[in-house]
Amino acid sequence: MIRGLAFSLSVLLVGNAFAQTPLRAKVFPGAQSLPLMAGVQQGIFERHGIKLELLFTQTSQEQRDGLASGDFQVAHAAVDNAVAMVERAKHDVVIVTGGDSSMNELFAQADVRSIADLKGRVVIVDAPNTAYALQAKKILRLNGLKDSDYTIKPVGGTLFRYRAMREDKSHAASMLNPPFSIDAPGAGLKSLGRAVDLIGPYQATGAFVLRKWAASNADTLTRYIAAQIESTRWAVAPSNKDAAVKMLVERFKLQPEVASRTWDLLADPKFGLAVDAQFNLAGFRNVLALRAEIEGDWGGTPPAPERYIDLSYYEKARALLRN
């Protein structure tokens, strides 16, 4: 079982032969953050001239507010949050990498026999109008439920939702991803299906930044992304499994068997971490389509995805690694 979690990770790497650029990034405390944690521990960011301070967030709103105010420079979260920052908060942010498909599953209490049984129940989410909440709403719609048929309750990131479901059975369902989805069956919760199987491809975690900051710090951002790509490669390499599993055990206080099964999911390119943190354009089109349908943004017709992405920094980072 999951025994606890520290909510901050601040590692400053020093002592290099060349100047290091200080940078702060904020992520959710989940297995999808393994590449960044590995990149810090293995000195990968240091080798790319980045002195990285890695922080954990509790909620999407906290993370969006912090990026907008300049508390940190890079956010890693479901990229629908970047779209929400542009459309709702009118902040000029841009998505610069991919990361994963969310690896989400819809988990429910043991007494829930089917998705339709969630009628009249409470579904808990991080923020009610972004990302995985929209995934949940779409899945319920596909199973005959209207939004008014159940109650949405904001609780926070996946860790907090998982705890809430374990501690209060009135929290009937939520989207969970590793390592919490691995641990959940042992806590008496059951999966009602994987998100990508229920609603199709989905671009979840990615890196996004303020567009103005990116333009003014193009070299730093390119080196950061190069380090992220290299860190992702390290995290899923079979030769590094034992070290990666140990990292998951130590950072997230997991039992070794849970950490090992979590790594297996992360290393699955069809379900886990995207190869080289690539951006999934088809998955992002689905993100925009969900927001248009469920939130009514853009009058119900999703815009062109290019409005929210700039992969030129990513391509420069790939070229940097090739050279």
| Residue 5 counted as domain residue | no
Query: How high is the pLDDT of residue 130?
Result: 83
Residue 55, pLDDT > 80, answer yes
* CATH number where 139 lies: 3.40.190.10
pLDDT of residue 323: 87
Which residues have CB under 8 Å from 69's CB, separation 6+?
none
287 located within any domain: yes
pLDDT band, very low/low/confident/very high, at 14 (cuts 50, 70, 90): very low
Q: How many domains does the structure of the chain reveal?
A: 2
Q: Which of 147, 175, 199 is the last residue of a domain?
A: 199
Residue ending a domain, among 199, 233, 260, is 199
**Does position 264 have pLDDT exceeding 60, yes or no?**
yes
Q: Given strand 105-108, what is the order of strands in its sheet?
A: 151-154, 122-125, 171-176, 105-108, 190-194
3-state helix, strand, coil in the chain (%, to 5): 50, 15, 35
Together in a domain, 316 and 221: yes
Q: Would you say residue 195 lies in a domain?
A: yes
- To the nearest 10°, the Cα dihedral for 12, 13, 18, 20? -30
3-state SS class at 309: strand
> How far, in Å, CA of 197 to CA of 61, rounded?
28
Task: List the beta strands (DSSP E) in 165-265.
Answer: 171-176, 190-194, 205-210
Residue 276 and residue 161 share a domain: no
Q: Could you say which of 139, 172, 199 is where a domain stops?
A: 199
Is there a single domain that holds both residue 207 and residue 314?
yes
Range(s) of the domain holding residue 50: 21-101+203-322
Indicate yes or no: pTM above 0.75: yes
**Are both 72 and 127 inside the same structural domain?**
no
Give tens-digit pLDDT for 20-29. 999 999 999 8
